[in-house]
Amino acid sequence: MELISINQAAAFLKGCDGYLIYTHASPDGDTVGSAVALALMLRKMGKKANIFSVDGIPSKLSFMPTDGLFIETEPEDISEYTLVSVDVAGPRMLGNAKNTSFSLSIDHHKVNSIDCERLLVMSDRIACGEIIFLLMDELAINIDKDIAIALYGAISSDSGGFRYDATKPETHIMAARCLETGIDFAEINRILFECKTVPQVNLIKAAYSNLELIRDGKFALVAIRPEEVEKCGASEMDFDCINSIPREIGGVLASAVIRQKADGVKVSMRSNADIDVAEIAKTFGGGGHFHAAGFTHVGSFDEAVDIVRKCFTEIEI
């Protein structure tokens, strides 16, 4: 695996064709927006480009210009494709995808273990969409309204509406360039951050009901068992709406949301202050960003809860 720069990635994209771009499982705004923008850019260059996601695109991303871009079934024979992943930090993030190896991977996670020939990783970027934006400029592609919608959705999604501390002045400049195309940014943000389905509302209620405060409220934990998820009518893609709930409580320094998945127990961690949850997650085979990370525990649900409680008890503050 070779670590490459923006200009090296652009040169590679110019030299190949027949692209198939992979998003991560349970896709969010950043992975979908990055994939859509990259596919549209490649098509503008006269190249063939499609996108594959092991999971369906959630309804909250219905504003993305996805027409004709996604394929429903992963190809059995990938020899005719140039495979690219976006916003994928490791094989677990690909879900049950058959292919887990790429010619090029583009990512912004602090910890990355993806199998690839070339890795363009910029962990100082708040969204993978920012890296795709830089590639767009390096490739001298003029931004149009569809690319702007995809990039704005990606950047706004992973920056929490430009609220998180990894947001840079350049993040706002990129967003402004998207706005110059005339996109309805207010509607994009409304859909991303304000619209909730009934199962999501039920999940939010369950999250507050299961809230546990640790060490005088400095840490918070929400554990939602499978039977509760089923009662809520929720799916895996609904959990984005609750991952930050325990962190939003005043005085909480770090938090975790725990739920059962097919391949184990998923622990999604968030932090305020100077607590690096990516380093904590890395200890258990996971990764992510300084203030947002996670890992999957292959043991029991109760074991995962005990692991998180122990972590929060031992963190020096």
**pLDDT digit string (tens) for 101-118?**
999 999 999 889 999 999
What CATH number is attached to the domain comprising 22? Answer: 3.90.1640.10
Shared-domain flag, residues 189 and 233: no
Shared-domain flag, residues 85 and 141: yes
Count of alpha carbons within 13 angstroms of residue 233, beta-carbon side: 6
The pLDDT of residue 237 is 81
Confidence of residue 288 (pLDDT cuts 50, 70, 90): confident
Shared-domain flag, residues 157 and 262: no
- Number of domains making up the chain: 2
Distance CA 211, CA 220 (A): 7
Residues 162-186 pLDDT 10s = 999 899 999 999 999 999 999 999 9
Predicted confidence (pLDDT) at residue 56 exceeds the cutoff of 90: no
Residues 245-256 pLDDT 10s = 999 999 999 999
The pLDDT of residue 165 is 86
Shared-domain flag, residues 102 and 225: no
For residues 294 and 314, is the Cβ–Cβ distance under 8 A? no
Domain-terminating residue out of 193, 225, 257 = 193
Shared-domain flag, residues 205 and 275: yes
For residues 150 and 131, is the Cβ–Cβ distance under 8 A? no
Shared-domain flag, residues 222 and 189: no
Shared-domain flag, residues 167 and 306: no
Shared-domain flag, residues 174 and 189: yes
Q: Give the β-pairing of 219-224 and 211-214.
A: antiparallel
Shared-domain flag, residues 59 and 145: yes
Rg (C-alpha) for the chain, rounded Å, is 19
Distance CA 177, CA 162 (A): 15
Shared-domain flag, residues 71 and 186: yes
Q: Over the chain, what is the mean pLDDT?
A: 95
What CATH number is attached to the domain comprising 291? Answer: 3.10.310.30
**pTM given for the model:** 0.89
Q: What residue type is 296 in one-letter code?
A: T
Backbone angles phi, psi at 2, to 5 degrees: -110, 125
Domain-terminating residue out of 193, 224, 254 = 193
Distance CA 30, CA 102 (A): 19
Residues facing 71 on adjacent strands: 52
Starting at the edge strand found earlier in the chain, the sheet holding 292-297 runs: 211-214, 219-224, 254-261, 264-271, 292-297, 287-288
- Other Cβ atoms closer than 10 A to 159: 22
What share of residues in the chain are helix, strand, coil (percent, to 5)? 40, 20, 40
Look up the domain containing 246 and give its range: 198-314
